[in-house]
């Protein structure tokens, strides 16, 4: 009996290690309960303020469930309320491609930059190359590759600790639609500010 308990405990610990490794290398995130700190809004560019205010008022309406609005659809809905998007811009945000994502990610292809590519290409956004310059209301697309499989996500920045963590408004399975999630810093990350 004691031997079975030890074997069972070893199996449970092993499973926990495997699950933690997968979580850590794919989309290491957890939901957080963060409110928008209104006093911080006054220092934001006017378009960023509009983005954050739309999310504060309509976030749950834009993505009531993850099935009804995945992360890219949430981002499209937010941007479209500030500056209407073309079909091409929406498709760029959705990252529609038949190519292998991991190869595109390795090459830093414009395709995998999603929202950044969509807005910069049409002059509606400004690429942000320094993470220290990122503000609440900026948009992000990021990626991790684990065992040859690409894991990506996009959203709107709430808060950032460069090279450590990123807190986003987005639609995610953990929050079953709209919510606020904190992520460990990903392998590849692309920021853009709506003009």
Taking only the tens place, the pLDDT of each residue in 128-149 is 999 999 999 999 999 998 888 8
Q: Is the pLDDT score of 191 beyond 50?
A: yes
Sign of CA dihedral 95, 182, 176, 178: negative
What's residue 117's pLDDT? 98
Q: Any idea of the CA torsion for 130, 133, 135, 140, to the nearest 10 degrees?
A: -10
Average pLDDT over all residues of the chain? 88
Q: What angle do CA 159, 53, 192 make, to 5 degrees?
A: 50
Whether pLDDT at 41 is above 90:
no
Q: Is 92 helix (H, G, I), strand (E, B) or coil?
A: helix
Side-chain half-sphere CA neighbours of 51 within 13 A: 29
What gap in Å lies between CA 117 and CA 155, rounded to an integer? 14
Residue found by looking up tokens 């303020």 in the block: 49
Q: List, for residues 16-31, the tens digit of each pLDDT value.
A: 443 444 444 456 676 7
**Is the pTM for the entire model greater than 0.85?**
yes
DSSP 8-state class, residue 51: H
């Amino acid at each position: 009996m004691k031997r079975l308990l030890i074997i069972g405990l070893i199996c449970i610990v092993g499973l926990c290690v495997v699950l933690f490794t997968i979580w850590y290398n794919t989309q290491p995130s957890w939901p957080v309960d963060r409110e928008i700190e209104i006093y911080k809004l006054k220092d934001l560019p006017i378009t960023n303020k509009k983005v954050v205010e739309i999310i504060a008022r309509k976030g749950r309406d834009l993505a009531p469930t993850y099935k009804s609005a995945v992360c890219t659809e949430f981002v499209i809905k937010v941007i479209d309320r500030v500056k209407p998007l073309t079909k091409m811009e929406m498709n760029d945000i959705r990252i529609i491609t038949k190519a292998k994502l991991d190869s595109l990610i390795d090459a830093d292809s414009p395709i995998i930059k999603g929202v950044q590519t969509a807005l910069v290409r049409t002059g509606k956004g400004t690429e942000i190359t320094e993470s220290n310059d990122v503000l609440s209301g900026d948009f992000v697309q990021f990626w991790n590759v684990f065992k040859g499989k690409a894991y990506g996500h996009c959203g709107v920045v709430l808060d950032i600790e460069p090279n450590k963590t990123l807190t986003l408004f987005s639609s995610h399975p953990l929050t079953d639609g709209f919510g606020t999630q904190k992520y460990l810093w990903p392998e590849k990350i692309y920021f853009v500010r709506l003009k």
